[in-house]
């Protein structure tokens, strides 16, 4: 299990690097955390670590954004917060992305849990009363 206490935004690049190197063969990462926990901000750091210089934003309304690395590899960023029905994920063609072998970074995975792959990295971000973040991750 991976676990880090994050006290400032400046620590996120190092934590993103550690997370990716801790799970080098994994490509699907599911991010759990309350609204405002910092899921998108952490995903921005992960995308930078993976070599993307694209504008990384939350795909809240589009449901999915695709970013490219310097090597022209794709990174798929999902946000299922506003999904009304699991059928929307089917309409999106989620399987093509999830099983593509590309990095898939999923916010609000609980909205499509029955569709998630059997093996992925579960990333949890919890906010303490003091304002720091505890980031834990494990393969499930």
The set of residues, in sequence order, having a beta carbon less than 8 Å from that of 16 and lying 6+ positions away, is 42, 45, 46, 48, 49
Per-residue model confidence (pLDDT) at position 60: 83
Half-sphere exposure (Cβ direction) of 8: Cα atoms closer than 13 Å? 2
CATH of 2-139, one of 3.40.50.12780, 3.40.50.300, 3.30.2270.10, 3.40.50.1860: 3.40.50.300
Tens-digit pLDDT string for the chain (140 aa): 999 999 999 999 999 999 999 999 999 999 999 999 999 999 999 999 999 999 999 998 889 999 999 999 999 999 999 999 999 999 999 999 999 999 999 999 999 999 999 999 999 999 999 999 999 999 99
Domain ranges of the chain: 2-139
Buried b (16+ CB within 10 A) or exposed e, 102-129: ebbbbbbbebbeeebeeebbbbebeeee
Tell me the whole-structure pTM to 2 decimals.
Answer: 0.96
Per-residue model confidence (pLDDT) at position 96: 96
Single out the residue of 86, 135, 138, 78 nearest to residue 102, CA to CA.
Answer: 78
**Spatial distance between the Cα atoms of 139 and 59, rounded to a whole number of angstroms:** 24
Alpha-carbon dihedral sign for residues 59, 69, 15, 103: positive
Token pair for residue 105? 């970074």
Write the burial class of residue 72 (CB in 10 Å: 0-12 exposed, 13-18 middle, 19+ buried): exposed
Is 102 within 8 Å of 28 (Cβ atoms)? Answer: no
């Amino acid at each position: 299990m991976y676990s880090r206490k994050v006290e400032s935004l400046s620590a996120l690049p190092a934590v993103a690097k550690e997370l990716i190197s801790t799970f080098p063969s994994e490509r699907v990462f599911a991010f759990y955390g309350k609204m405002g926990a910092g899921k998108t901000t952490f995903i921005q750091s992960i995308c930078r670590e993976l070599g993307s210089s694209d504008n990384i934003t939350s795909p809240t309304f589009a449901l999915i954004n695709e970013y490219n690395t310097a090597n022209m590899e794709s990174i798929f960023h999902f946000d299922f917060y506003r999904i009304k029905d699991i059928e929307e994920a089917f309409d999106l063609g989620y399987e093509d992305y999830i099983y593509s072998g590309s990095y898939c970074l999923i916010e609000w995975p609980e909205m499509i849990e029955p569709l998630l792959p059997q093996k992925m990295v579960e990333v949890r971000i919890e906010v303490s009363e003091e304002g720091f973040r505890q980031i834990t991750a494990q393969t499930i």
